[in-house]
Amino acid sequence: MLHNIQIIHKKVKNINLKVKPSLEVILTVPFGTANTTISSILHKRTEWIQQKIDFFKQNIKPISELISGEDFCYLGRNYRLKIHEGNTEFIELSTDGYLNITLQNTTDLKKKHHLIDTWYKEKAIYHFGQIMKKYTKIVNKSVNKVTIRRMKTRWGSCNPKKSYINLNLDLIKKDILGIEYVILHELAHLTHYNHDKKFYNYIATYMPDWKHRKAMLV
């Protein structure tokens, strides 16, 4: 028996069913859709819905306590967290594979999260910016605005009409080759809106190994 299902009646042409990472099941249907039709859809897609729910349950990460010894990713490499007590608050990577955090109160979890998020954001702004400059020149496209934020289900998104691109902050944890793929992918939407053959042929023109790079994002 499935629970937490939300039925939304909207002015749409097609029926859409999705499962969110929050485990919420949302079925969007056109106005006037019969209850029997809704029941039939949910019955037919029960197995698929349960598979999605199980997937999200398995991938729910426990809240990090940010103590020495935890693993952190940055540009495709794993670093071991090391917490230090000191008067100056800062983060640095060491050549021996440690992500060092120095702060006055080593038990201040909120402060540690803030320091790490700020550090990741600064690194993302720099690296994403460099890659964006590189590929906007290659594809001869301009972008009006780039936003970096955490996204639950996407590495990036694009608004072709406004020429806006959103990038997932957690992308900074992936290898630079994977980051390049995501940025080129979103830039490609400025020319090709849909994920059709022309879209992927366009990407392959500038990045022949895009499939390999995409696989690095798993």
All structural domains of the chain? 5-58 (no CATH), 71-120 (no CATH), 122-215 (3.30.2010.10)
| DSSP H or E run through 111 | helix 109-139
The tens place of each residue's pLDDT in the chain, 218 residues long, gives: 455 788 999 888 889 998 887 788 899 999 989 999 998 988 888 988 888 888 877 766 655 677 777 888 999 999 998 999 999 999 999 888 899 999 999 888 889 889 999 999 999 999 999 999 999 999 999 999 999 999 888 999 999 999 999 999 999 999 999 999 999 999 999 999 999 999 999 999 999 999 999 999 87
4: left (phi over 0), alpha (psi -120 to 50) or beta: left
Closest CA to 171 of 121, 136, 113: 121
